[in-house]
């Protein structure tokens, strides 16, 4: 599993100068914590500045979406014009090559309008590249911005693509990207084997604290999928990233990785509020605040907010909220469409101390106990989906048994500690 290191080239070309200019512009523009801060360099930026040397003379397939950019230029456009690199096929994860499809919406095969290259869907009938798709490819490249949450499907696409590359005998290159949630927080249930699915493929916690490149190394090194022993895996690492960094610390602009994560705060809350996909209510899709406001048809918003605020959860306050989900881009048919819902809005006051998964447990507990007794039996509307998201049926069982949030949270501590030791050999930063 080589980690690509930089050396010095003497060759200079017009294309290389253009790539350098793009990188320098990307370092000086965009939003960040301060105007003087130098941006973290992504693996794609590092590789572009080095003339894509690990791809020279190769027929390349690229797994990417709209986040694969260097400043305003898409990686596709750089690769298709890069001397010595032959880009032959594109692969699209969930939400599509342009990142506009709704969650769960099947992506169709097609052709890229700009380049004419074939675009193969990895979210539909096929989740794993087929031998036919890879027949003309020598190296498969992955450049997709992840969220750092186990049930976000881009990391399942990563592992299945690694497996397909191993089976085809071709190389696999991961262009590393920052974990938006940082590299220190690790929390949530570790997925049990019987709950494995495309929304949770690996026995890792909900928040696992690894970059996409580190995760690829873990997947191969721990044999989390079969057949990866002989895969030639290369990770092009980040420059300037530290484990303590959350997204705002990177100096990089937030590009929504999917339509319902329009802000970093939405992505931060998502690790806990996504549980509400399984309840009789809404996680905020179909509103301006997906994953930052949640509601059901029957709770008292003020009483609920008071209950949650009395717990003094770190880094967050709760406001009473009333909302009605309506069709929006990325949520054409939101659950409880047109129905008035009552709940709370999360206001994240301190991103560093905020604990997304733990907050999600408190929210589930508070909503459940604010639900009228006659409705409690159907509060968890989709228990199997809750088990998929949590990675275990224990969350549903503990809620029904009346366990406190503290008891539920303590349930994963031992497994998380073991995972932190397991991941240690694969850390790059």
DSSP lists the bridge partners of residue 3 as 235
- What pLDDT shows up at residue 4? 52
Name the nearest CA neighbour of 97 among 83, 114, 85: 114
Where among 253, 273, 292 does a domain terminate?
Answer: 253
Helix (H) / strand (E) element for 233: namely: strand 233-236
pLDDT (tens digit, 9 = 90+) per residue, 67-115? 999 999 999 999 999 999 999 999 999 877 865 555 656 677 889 888 9
pLDDT of residue 132 exceeding 70, the answer is yes
pLDDT band at 34 (very low <50, low <70, confident <90, very high): very low
The answer to whether position 54 is within a domain reads yes
CA 267 to chain centre: 8
Residue 315 CB contacts under 8 Å (≥ 6 apart), including other chains: 348, 349, 350, 351, 352, 353, 354, 355
Q: Domain range for residue 134? A: 14-253
Residues 195 and 289 in one domain: no
Residue 144: count of CB within 10 angstroms of its CB: 26
pLDDT of residue 12 exceeding 70, the answer is no
Share of the chain above pLDDT 90, in %: 83
User: Domain holding 110: CATH number?
Assistant: 3.40.50.12170
- Average of pLDDT values for 306-324? 99
Where among 197, 231, 253 does a domain terminate?
Answer: 253
341-348 and 316-323 beta bridge pairing:
antiparallel
172 in the Ramachandran plot: left (φ > 0), alpha (ψ -120 to 50) or beta?
Answer: beta
- What pLDDT shows up at residue 94? 85
Residues 56 and 75 in one domain: yes
pLDDT band at 31 (very low <50, low <70, confident <90, very high): very low
Give me the residue label for tokens 């590359």. 165
- Average of pLDDT values for 131-151? 98
- What pLDDT shows up at residue 95? 75
- What pLDDT shows up at residue 104? 58
The answer to whether position 123 is within a domain reads yes
Residues 358 and 215 in one domain: no
Residues 383 and 290 in one domain: yes
**Structure token pair of residue 135:** 């027949």
pLDDT band at 63 (very low <50, low <70, confident <90, very high): very high
Residues 276 and 147 in one domain: no
pLDDT band at 20 (very low <50, low <70, confident <90, very high): very low
Torsion angles phi and psi, residue 347, rounded to 5: -115, 105
Residues 234 and 381 in one domain: no
Residues 337 and 217 in one domain: no
Share of the chain above pLDDT 70, in %: 89
Residues 139 and 281 in one domain: no
- What pLDDT shows up at residue 129? 98
pLDDT of residue 36 exceeding 60, the answer is no
Average pLDDT, the chain: 91
Residues 288 and 309 in one domain: yes
Q: In the chain, how many domains are there?
A: 2
The answer to whether position 26 is within a domain reads yes
pLDDT (tens digit, 9 = 90+) per residue, 380-422? 999 999 999 999 999 999 999 999 999 999 999 999 999 999 9
Any idea which of 37-41, 315-319, 363-367, 388-392 has the lowest mean pLDDT? 37-41
The answer to whether position 90 is within a domain reads yes
pLDDT band at 245 (very low <50, low <70, confident <90, very high): very high
- What pLDDT shows up at residue 77? 94
**Structure token pair of residue 342:** 């009552």
> DSSP strand E in 50-199: where?
58-64, 69-70, 73-74, 85-92, 110-111, 118-121, 139-143, 171-175
Residues 282 and 320 in one domain: yes
The answer to whether position 167 is within a domain reads yes
- Average of pLDDT values for 351-380? 96
- What pLDDT shows up at residue 246? 98
pLDDT of residue 27 exceeding 80, the answer is no
Q: Write down the pTM of the prediction.
A: 0.90
pLDDT of residue 8 exceeding 90, the answer is no
Please state, in angstroms and rounded to a whole number, the distance separating the CA atoms of residues 317 and 397.
28
Residues 152 and 53 in one domain: yes
- Average of pLDDT values for 8-33? 42
The answer to whether position 429 is within a domain reads no
Residues 231 and 307 in one domain: no
pLDDT of residue 13 exceeding 70, the answer is no
The answer to whether position 336 is within a domain reads yes
The answer to whether position 150 is within a domain reads yes
- What pLDDT shows up at residue 17? 43
More confident site: 214 or 35: 214
- Average of pLDDT values for 290-300? 97
Helix (H) / strand (E) element for 218: namely: helix 212-221
pLDDT band at 374 (very low <50, low <70, confident <90, very high): confident
CA distances from 233 to 139, 178, 229, 354 (A): 10, 19, 10, 35
């Amino acid at each position: 599993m080589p980690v690509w290191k930089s050396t010095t080239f003497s060759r200079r070309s017009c294309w290389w100068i253009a790539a350098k200019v793009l990188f320098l512009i990307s370092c000086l523009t965009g939003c960040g914590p301060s105007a003087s801060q130098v941006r973290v360099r992504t693996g794609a930026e590092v590789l572009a500045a080095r003339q894509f040397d690990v791809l020279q003379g190769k027929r390349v397939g690229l797994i990417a979406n709209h986040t694969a950019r260097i400043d305003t230029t898409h990686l596709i456009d750089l690769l298709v014009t890069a001397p010595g690199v032959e880009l032959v096929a594109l692969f699209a994860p969930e939400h599509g090559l342009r990142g506009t499809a709704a969650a769960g919406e099947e992506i169709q095969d097609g052709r890229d309008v700009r380049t004419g290259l074939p675009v193969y869907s990895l979210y539909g009938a096929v989740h794993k590249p087929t031998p036919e798709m890879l027949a003309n490819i020598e190296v498969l490249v992955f450049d997709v911005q992840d969220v750092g949450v186990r049930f976000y499907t881009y990391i399942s696409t990563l592992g299945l693509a690694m497996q397909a590359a191993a089976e085809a005998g071709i190389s696999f290159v991961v262009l590393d990207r920052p974990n938006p949630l940082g590299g220190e927080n690790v929390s949530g249930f570790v997925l049990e084997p019987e709950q494995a699915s495309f929304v949770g493929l690996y026995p890792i916690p909900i928040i696992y604290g690894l970059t996409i490149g580190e995760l690829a190394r873990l997947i191969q090194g721990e044999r989390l999928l079969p057949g990866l022993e002989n895969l030639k895996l290369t990770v092009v690492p980040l420059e300037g990233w530290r484990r303590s960094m959350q997204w705002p610390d990177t100096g990089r602009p937030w590009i929504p990785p999917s339509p319902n994560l329009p802000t970093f705060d939405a992505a931060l809350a998502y690790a806990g509020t996504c549980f509400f996909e399984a309840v009789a209510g809404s996680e905020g899709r179909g509103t301006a605040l997906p994953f930052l406001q949640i509601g059901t048809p029957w709770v008292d918003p003020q009483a609920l907010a008071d209950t949650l605020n009395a717990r003094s959860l770190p880094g967050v306050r709760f406001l009473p909220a009333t909302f009605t989900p309506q069709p929006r881009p990325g949520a054409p048919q939101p659950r409880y469409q047109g129905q008035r819902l009552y709940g709370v809005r999360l206001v994240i006051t301190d991103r560093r101390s905020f604990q997304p998964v733990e907050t999600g447990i408190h929210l589930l507990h508070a909503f459940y106990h604010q639900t009228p007794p006659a409705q409690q039996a159907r509060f968890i509307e989709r228990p199997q989906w809750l088990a998929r998201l949590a990675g275990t049926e224990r969350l549903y069982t503990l809620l029904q048994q009346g366990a406190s949030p503290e008891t539920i949270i303590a349930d994963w501590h031992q497994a998380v500690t073991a995972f932190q030791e397991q991941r240690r050999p694969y850390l790059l930063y």
